């Protein structure tokens, strides 16, 4: 008996995707996660452009995690030209990332994921019965937006984020406002953690053989190394030697593996890895939860997101304190082009992100390579879908589709 | 209830995110209209008749083309949102420099993909567009104003004056005078000039204002340190098919030599 399941248009995910599942005689025959997005040729359109144009162009890869793309490309440019930024610029960048995570994770949690668990088609529909819950999502998102607008210049695609730092920096008053906002959002974030801890996550424990994230002192830092859960640590220069990208014959996203295996990235991989290094304030919340970390249930990526925004908001408050004391400070260091190749690795909200550029001696881009979380997630989502289907053969088509969608949304590829 | 739709073609979803950032407006909107199609934010989507259909992204695949044509048939008003939909977006900036095959080979190492790919085009190059709200992303105040106007039977109107006008209004010191490359003089205002306010020259994300003088613009950019070639590339980033208007006379191009 042959059973075919097709989800032709995944909804409530950024981008366009489809899933095809074929089961024959109770055996899983085929699983394909297809990204059907049109290509945008970033590795080609950056060529011949001056280094100063690069962050602006690649920012447009994603409107939700543009800060990460802008920073990863700026880090790569600085790496190529041997530029070192000041500790204040580094802190301001981290504060910007706090904004990005608040907005991206809140969008994900409340607008993309939560409707599934609450039984609604969208957050907008949910707002009729749960106006305060939806407002909470909007509020956390708004605080993130304000930070991005303040530091970046616009909420989406802020042009003030450049190689070498920022053309202008926030005033002491602005930083105090950010601090107040972060204090005000803390109770909402804690409520978010409780809400996501209380949801009914289907039992789904198929340990991830390999997990990956940036290696640094804390999850907000931009390290130069990447760590794998099997103990391997590799440098950003070695990234392409570990993460192997293949062009897929059914998806427009490339598909990555490490040592021929799918690997987990993103909030769950990060919280699993950084659990011991979280701030005391975050750890205290973690003790109160009924779920625990490290976890191998991919759906717990949602709870991990809620924990990350608490961690980041707390770190954001510390950062504003340091910056207020350091004010006024310079936002920019000079950048002078030279021939060479630079690498930028960063944790984007959805997972590790990699940018590499080579420049000629006038600072014009000769070649580029960008490895996005989407490409790296394709294989691990397919692996998860496989194990989901194998466990839920009794489920009706309708039910199976629903579970598959929930799983994919937990990754938000 | 009248129905509205929000469709995403090939883009970054930044414009749809900006729409989702209009919290109060969304609450007011859903009292009056039904958002019957918005795949980024909901799963109960129906592709029926629309009073207004907003389209984000450029037409880059056969599927994009099919979707937007079908959308056009069902929509009373079709509004292109963002510079991808209005001009072709950043992805179309090298359309005149390379063939589709060349781009595919460079990025994917092959000439064909599992979807049928075309060179990125603006929505108006494929179907009739009633209104355009450019920007990368679009400006959310303009979105709210456009929706309110159309639903009330008023034509939304945005004068195509240059961004410089908004610097004057917000009393931002002119960057061009400080030697910083800025595209404000040839760019369609409406954003409130947030970039120049942070000290970064306008990057031209909203496309052409009326009667842009590119020749003069290139001369000014050259004074501020760019070569002719880099100035033209800088101008092209967001302008998509509008870049065709960047025609320079012999003299300007001549200067490039040795630059
Ligand atoms: S116009 Fe800009 S923000 Fe909007 S979809 Fe295109 S790239 Fe994204
Ligand atoms: S900064 Fe740019 S946009 Fe503003 S007035 Fe000067 S040239 Fe015009
Ligand atoms: S100032 Fe220029 S680049 Fe900035 S938002 Fe306005 S049009 Fe776009």
Query: Tens digit of pLDDT for each residue in B75-124?
Result: 999 999 999 999 999 999 999 999 999 999 999 999 889 899 999 999 99
**Secondary structure percentages of chain B, helix, strand, coil, to 5:** 40, 20, 40
CA B18–ligand 1 middle distance (angstroms) = 10
The reply to whether A15 and A42 lie within a common domain is no
pLDDT of residue A58: 98
Distance CA B72, CA B128 (A): 8
CA dihedral for A323, A306, B56, B108, sign (positive or negative): positive
List b or e across A332-351, with b for residues whose CB sees 16 or more CB atoms inside 10 angstroms: beebebeeeebbbbbbbbbb
The reply to whether A159 and A251 lie within a common domain is yes
Give the largest CA-CA distance in chain B: 64
B156 belongs to a structural domain: no
Q: Tokens 């918005």 appear where?
A: B38
Structure tokens at A11: 């909804």
The terminus-to-terminus CA distance of chain A in angstroms comes to: 32
List b or e across A372-401, with b for residues whose CB sees 16 or more CB atoms inside 10 angstroms: bbbbbbbbbbbbbbbebbeeeeeeeeeebb
Cα–Cα distance list, A72 to A156, A316, A374, B10 (Å): 16, 20, 16, 23
B157 belongs to a structural domain: no
Single out the residue in B151, B181, B215 at which a domain terminates. B151
Write out the residue range of the structural domain in which residue A17 sits: 4-35
The reply to whether A251 and A286 lie within a common domain is yes
Measured from the Cβ of residue B179, the count of other Cβ atoms closer than 10 Å reads 10
Single out the residue in B151, B186, B221 at which a domain terminates. B151
Which atom of ligand 2 is found nearest the CA of B173?
Answer: 1
The reply to whether B187 and B241 lie within a common domain is yes
The reply to whether A302 and A339 lie within a common domain is yes
Mean pLDDT for B41-56 is 95
Picking from B4, B6, B17 by the largest number of A CB atoms within 10 A of its own CB, the best residue to mutate is B17
The reply to whether B53 and B73 lie within a common domain is yes
The reply to whether A8 and A119 lie within a common domain is no
| ipTM of predicted complex | 0.96
Single out the residue in B151, B174, B203 at which a domain terminates. B151
Is there a cis peptide before residue A355, judged by omega within 30 degrees of 0?
no
The reply to whether A143 and A9 lie within a common domain is no
The reply to whether A230 and A263 lie within a common domain is yes
Q: Taking 90 as the threshold, does the pLDDT of residue A244 lie above it?
A: yes
Distance CA B259, CA B244 (A): 23
Mean pLDDT for B189-210 is 97
pLDDT of residue B162: 98
Q: In sequence order, what are the residues at sequence separation of 6 or more whose Cβ sits closer than 8 angstroms to the Cβ of residue B144?
A: B22, B25
The reply to whether B171 and B253 lie within a common domain is yes
Write out the residue range of the structural domain in which residue B132 sits: 3-151
Structure tokens at B93: 């900036």
Test B114 with A111 for CB contact under 8 angstroms: no
The reply to whether B115 and B196 lie within a common domain is no
pLDDT of residue A203: 79
Is there a cis peptide before residue B137, judged by omega within 30 degrees of 0?
yes
Tens of pLDDT, residue by residue over A335-356, are: 999 999 999 999 999 999 999 9
The reply to whether B140 and B19 lie within a common domain is yes
CA dihedral for B199, B202, B203, B206, sign (positive or negative): positive
The reply to whether A76 and A212 lie within a common domain is yes
- CATH number, domain with residue B110: 3.40.50.700
Distance CA B207, CA B136 (A): 10
The reply to whether B120 and B231 lie within a common domain is no
Global pTM?
0.96
The reply to whether A139 and A24 lie within a common domain is no
Write down the mean pLDDT value for chain A.
94
pLDDT of residue B254: 63
The reply to whether B21 and B141 lie within a common domain is yes
Q: Taking 90 as the threshold, does the pLDDT of residue A367 lie above it?
A: yes
Residue B169 half-sphere exposure toward CB, CA atoms < 13 A? 12
B189 belongs to a structural domain: yes
Picking from B66, B199, B229 by the largest number of A CB atoms within 10 A of its own CB, the best residue to mutate is B199
Element (DSSP H or E) covering residue A7: strand A2-7
Q: Taking 80 as the threshold, does the pLDDT of residue B256 lie above it?
A: no
The reply to whether A320 and A360 lie within a common domain is yes
The reply to whether A83 and A29 lie within a common domain is no
Q: Grade residue B259 by pLDDT with cuts at 50, 70 and 90.
A: very low
Q: Taking 50 as the threshold, does the pLDDT of residue A309 lie above it?
A: yes
CA B215–ligand 1 middle distance (angstroms) = 27
Ligand approaching nearest to the C-alpha of B163: 2
A255 is in an annotated binding site: no
Count structural domains, chain B: 2
B84 belongs to a structural domain: yes
In chain A, the percentage of residues whose pLDDT exceeds 70 is 100
The reply to whether B195 and B225 lie within a common domain is yes
By the 8 A CB rule, do A233 and A226 touch? Answer: yes
pLDDT of residue B255: 60
Count structural domains, chain A: 2
Cα–Cα distance list, B172 to B1, B149, B198, B244 (Å): 44, 30, 9, 31
**Separation in Å, CA of A165 to nearest CA in chain B:** 12
The reply to whether B78 and B130 lie within a common domain is yes
The reply to whether B141 and B173 lie within a common domain is no
pLDDT of residue A5: 87
The reply to whether A129 and A233 lie within a common domain is yes
């Amino acid at each position: 008996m042959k059973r075919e399941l097709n989800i032709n248009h995944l909804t409530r995910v950024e981008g366009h995707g489809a899933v095809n599942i074929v089961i024959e005689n109770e055996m899983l025959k085929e699983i394909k996660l297809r990204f059907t997005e049109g290509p945008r040729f970033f590795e080609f359109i950056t060529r011949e452009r001056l280094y100063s144009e690069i962050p602006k162009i690649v920012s447009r890869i994603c409107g939700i995690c543009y800060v990460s793309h802008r920073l990863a490309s700026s880090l790569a440019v600085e790496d190529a030209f041997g530029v070192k930024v000041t500790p204040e610029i580094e802190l301001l960048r981290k504060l910007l990332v706090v904004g990005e995570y608040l907005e991206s994770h809140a969008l994900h949690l409340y607008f993309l994921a939560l409707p599934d668990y609450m039984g609604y088609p969208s957050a907008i529909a949910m707002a009729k019965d749960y106006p305060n819950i939806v407002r909470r999502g909007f509020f956390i998102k708004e605080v993130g937006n304000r930070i991005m607008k303040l530091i970046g210049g616009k909420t989406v695609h802020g042009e003030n984020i450049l190689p070498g730092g920022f053309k202008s920096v926030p005033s002491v008053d602005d930083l105090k406002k950010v601090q107040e906002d972060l204090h005000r959002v803390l109770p909402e974030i804690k409520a978010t953690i409780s809400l996501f801890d209380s949801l009914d996550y289907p039992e789904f424990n198929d340990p991830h053989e390999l997990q990956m994230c940036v290696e640094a002192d804390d999850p907000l830092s931009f390290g130069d190394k990447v760590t794998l859960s099997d103990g391997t640590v590799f440098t950003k220069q070695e990234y392409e030697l570990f993460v192997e990208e293949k062009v897929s014959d059914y998806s427009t996203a490339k598909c990555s593996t490490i040592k021929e295996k799918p690997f987990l990235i993103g909030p769950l991989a990060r919280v699993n890895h950084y659990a011991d290094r979280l701030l005391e304030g975050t750890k205290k919340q973690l003790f109160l939860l009924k779920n625990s970390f490290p976890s191998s249930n991919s759906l717990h990526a949602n709870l991990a997101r809620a924990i990350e925004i608490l961690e980041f908001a707390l770190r954001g408050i510390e950062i504003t304190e340091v910056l207020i004391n350091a004010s006024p400070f310079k936002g920019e260091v000079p950048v002078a082009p030279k021939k060479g190749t630079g690498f930028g690795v960063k944790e984007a909200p959805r997972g590790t992100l990699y940018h590499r550029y080579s420049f000629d001696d006038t600072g014009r881009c000769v070649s580029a390579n960008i490895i996005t979380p989407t490409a790296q997630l394709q294989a691990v989502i397919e692996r998860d879908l496989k194990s989901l289907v194998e466990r839920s053969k009794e489920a009706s088509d309708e039910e199976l589709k629903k579970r598959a969608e929930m799983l994919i949304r937990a990754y938000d590829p | 209830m009248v129905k509205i739709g929000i469709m995403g073609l090939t883009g970054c979803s930044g414009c749809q995110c900006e729409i989702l950032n209009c919290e109060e407006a969304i609450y007011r909107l859903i009292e009056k209209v039904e958002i019957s199609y918005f795949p980024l934010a909901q799963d109960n989507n129906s592709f029926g008749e629309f009073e207004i259909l907003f389209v984000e992204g450029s037409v880059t695949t056969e599927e994009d083309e099919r979707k937007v044509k079908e959308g056009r048939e069902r929509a009373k008003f079709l509004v292109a949102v963002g510079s991808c939909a209005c001009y072709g977006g950043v992805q179309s900036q090298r359309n005149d420099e390379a063939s589709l095959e060349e781009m595919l080979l460079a990025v994917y190492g092959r000439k064909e993909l599992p979807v049928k790919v075309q060179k990125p085009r603006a929505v108006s190059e494929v179907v009739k567009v009633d209104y355009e709200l450019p920007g990368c992303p679009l400006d959310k105040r303009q979105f709210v104003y456009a929706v309110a106007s159309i639903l009330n039977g008023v034509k939304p109107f945005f004068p195509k004056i240059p961004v410089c006008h908004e610097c004057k209004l917000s009393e931002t010191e002119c960057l061009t005078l400080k030697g910083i490359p800025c595209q404000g003089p040839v760019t369609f205002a409406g954003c409130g000039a947030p970039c120049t306010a942070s000290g970064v020259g306008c990057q031209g994300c909203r496309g052409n204002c009326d009667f842009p003088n590119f020749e003069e613009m290139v001369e000014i950019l050259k004074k501020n340190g760019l070569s002719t070639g880099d100035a033209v590339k800088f101008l092209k980033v967001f302008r998509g098919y509008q870049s065709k208007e960047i025609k320079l006379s012999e003299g300007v191009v001549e200067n490039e030599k040795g630059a």
